[in-house]
């Protein structure tokens, strides 16, 4: 078979045969390189925006799914970004949390602490203290103390004719004997001045006229001791 005249001369058209061979070999090598690269590609080299099999990537901790998964209900749509704050478990924790909450609202720290301590102890509150407590308990993260408050006990009265009889009232008068040291006698009963005043007929005393029936005994230059000349009934409360 006779070869074309161009091949006998070592040319194809205006190009040498060896140049055409180089081009063909380069094209084959480039094809093989691209095919091997695509075959060895890892999942990280792929585009995460391309839909795949279910969840694709995590973005800031949130799963990403394609539209089909959302329609099927497999993808959670109510993911919480921040955990809910934990409520106090004890009254001590409640006190700290409530104090920080109110002080954070520019309330006086000392007034807040006193109000909260009195509230937990079941003591009576002023109007200002009650307003602070109500503000703290209105916070849904605080509400009422988890262990309750120390309310004073409720005293129930027995029905008429049942139970123990009511205690008798303490007498309001006593008999002071004659000749005893009235300083000592008055001491457990409120004191001498409380019973007899600073001077005779002292209107602040429980027994303003009782000094008129006293004598003051003792050696000169010493403290004189008041005594009654006769037994007298004295008001002590």
Q: What is the DSSP string of 149-167?
A: --PPPPPPPPPTTSSSPPP
CA 217-223-227 angle, 5° bins: 35
Are 88 and 94 within 8 A, CB to CB? yes
Identify the segments of the chain with pLDDT beneath 70: 1-15, 17-18, 38, 40-85, 150-171
Domain membership flag for residue 49: no
What's the pLDDT at 55? 46
| Domain range for 202 | 173-235
What's the pLDDT at 145? 85
Q: How many CB atoms lie within 10 A of CB 65?
A: 16
Pair (178, 231) in one structural domain: yes
192-230 as b/e, with b when 16 or more CB fall inside 10 Å?
A: bebbbbeeeebeebbbeebbeebeeeeeeeeeeebbbee
What is the reported pTM? Answer: 0.33
How many structural domains comprise the chain? 3
Pair (130, 178) in one structural domain: no
Domain membership flag for residue 25: yes
Best CA proximity match to 230, nearest among 214, 207, 219: 214
What's the pLDDT at 54? 47
Domain membership flag for residue 85: no
What's the pLDDT at 81? 52
Domain membership flag for residue 168: no
Pair (179, 231) in one structural domain: yes
What's the pLDDT at 181? 92
**DSSP bridge partners of 176:** 232
């Amino acid at each position: 078979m006779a070869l074309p005249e161009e091949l006998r001369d070592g040319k194809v058209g205006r190009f040498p045969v060896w140049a055409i061979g180089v081009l063909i070999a380069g094209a084959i090598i480039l094809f093989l390189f691209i095919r091997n690269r695509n075959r060895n590609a890892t999942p990280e080299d792929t585009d995460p925006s391309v839909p795949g099999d279910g969840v694709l990537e995590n973005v800031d901790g949130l799963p990403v799914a394609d539209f089909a998964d959302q329609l099927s209900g497999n993808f959670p749509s109510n993911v919480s970004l921040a955990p809910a704050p934990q409520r106090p478990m004890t009254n001590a924790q409640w006190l700290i949390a409530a104090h920080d909450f109110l002080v954070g609202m520019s309330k006086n720290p000392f007034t807040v602490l006193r109000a909260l301590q009195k509230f937990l102890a079941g003591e009576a509150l002023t109007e200002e203290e009650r307003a602070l407590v109500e503000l703290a308990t209105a916070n849904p993260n605080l509400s009422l103390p988890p262990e309750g408050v120390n309310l004073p006990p409720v005293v129930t009265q027995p029905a008429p004719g049942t139970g123990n009889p009511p205690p008798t009232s303490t007498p309001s008068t006593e008999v002071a004997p004659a000749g005893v040291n009235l300083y000592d006698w008055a001491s457990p009963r409120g004191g001498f001045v409380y019973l007899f005043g600073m001077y005779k007929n002292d209107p602040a005393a429980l027994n303003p006229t009782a000094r008129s029936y006293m004598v003051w005994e003792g050696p000169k230059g010493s403290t004189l001791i008041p005594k009654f000349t006769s037994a007298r009934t004295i008001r002590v409360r």
